[in-house]
């Protein structure tokens, strides 16, 4: 497990962006998993900015996101499809057939989970997964307590996040919200993982995830067992491990 710490948030965004670009340049048909949220927005902008100045061939690159919200329209600005499409797929001109995402609405999400994994497997599986971490240690939408052998499934949302989504979308209480997420087993079968975190609010959970025991109470701790994993942090997110590694 390699740990990289950048002095500033800006340097973090640049370093993370180059991890994505390097994968694209080294393997022109790479299958790259992304994550959405405040941590990744800056790095995605750097990728698109570099691409706009120095274009390169992405015609065979496949993008996907590690998870997606369920029972909301794709047009919702907070859907992973919309965020990745706006932040990366469109700026890079990724063909729609190379942007693999499960639907947000379906009568059979179990089938959609299987189809999502089948489409990735048909392209050789994921080469790289940029992986965020929640303040409770979740990866994807695999909340604490999720078995490490879990396969792609529809998980409950974090309660605070669900409350925010309901406020923003005005969905009725009887609509069950969740997240179709790659299971921990699927994530761990990715060839290379890069766990990214920035900000002081992530310092405590980062320390628990990479210095503490491997436990389903902190799903992200499982990455300690991955054979090719990098932890990329800014100085604030790394403050809980400074002097301990």
Q: For the chain, list the domains and their CATH numbers.
A: 2-234 (3.40.50.1360)
Distance (Å, whole) CA 241 – CA 245: 7
pLDDT for the residue 244: 83
Contact yes or no for 17/130 (Cβ under 8 A): no
> For the CA atoms of 168, 220, 81, 129, what is the dihedral angle to 10 degrees?
160
pLDDT for the residue 222: 98
pLDDT for the residue 223: 98
**Angle at CA 89, nearest 5°, toward 86 and 91?**
70
CA-nearest of 206, 61, 52 to 131 is: 206
pLDDT 10s digits, 66-88: 999 999 999 999 999 999 999 99
Structure token pair of residue 240: 């809980």
pLDDT for the residue 245: 78
Distance (Å, whole) CA 182 – CA 90: 23
pLDDT for the residue 170: 87
Distance (Å, whole) CA 187 – CA 9: 26
What sign for the dihedral angle of Cα 165, 168, 172, 175?
Answer: negative
Global pTM reads 0.95
Q: Which residues of the chain have pLDDT under 50?
A: none
pLDDT for the residue 119: 98
pLDDT for the residue 160: 87
In the chain, alpha helices (H) = 9-26, 38-53, 80-84, 90-92, 109-122, 159-169, 184-188, 203-211
Distance (Å, whole) CA 203 – CA 233: 9
pLDDT for the residue 186: 98
């Amino acid at each position: 497990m390699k740990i990289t710490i950048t002095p500033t948030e800006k340097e973090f965004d640049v370093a993370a962006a180059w991890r994505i670009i390097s994968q694209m340049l080294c393997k022109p048909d790479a299958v790259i998993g992304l994550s959405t949220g405040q941590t990744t927005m800056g790095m995605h902008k750097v990728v698109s900015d570099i691409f706009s100045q120095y274009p390169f061939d992405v015609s065979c690159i496949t993008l996907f996101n590690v998870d997606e919200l369920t029972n909301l329209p794709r047009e919702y600005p907070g859907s992973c499809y919309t965020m990745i499409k706006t932040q990366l797929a469109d700026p890079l001109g990724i063909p729609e057939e190379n942007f693999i995402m499960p639907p947000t609405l379906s009568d059979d999400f179990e089938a959609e989970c299987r189809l999502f994994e089948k489409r990735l497997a048909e392209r050789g599986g994921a080469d790289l997964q940029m992986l965020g971490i929640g303040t409770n240690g979740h990866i994807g939408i695999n909340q604490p307590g999720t078995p490490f052998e879990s396969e792609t499934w529809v998980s409950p949302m974090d309660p605070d996040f669900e409350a925010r989504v309901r406020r923003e979308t005005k969905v009725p209480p009887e609509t069950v919200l969740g997240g179709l997420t790659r299971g921990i087993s699927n994530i761990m079968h990715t060839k290379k993982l890069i766990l990214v975190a920035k900000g002081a609010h992530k310092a405590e959970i980062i320390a628990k995830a990479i210095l503490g025991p491997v436990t389903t109470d902190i799903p992200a701790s499982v990455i300690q067992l991955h054979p090719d994993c990098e932890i990329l942090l800014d100085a604030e997110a790394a403050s809980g491990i400074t002097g301990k590694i």
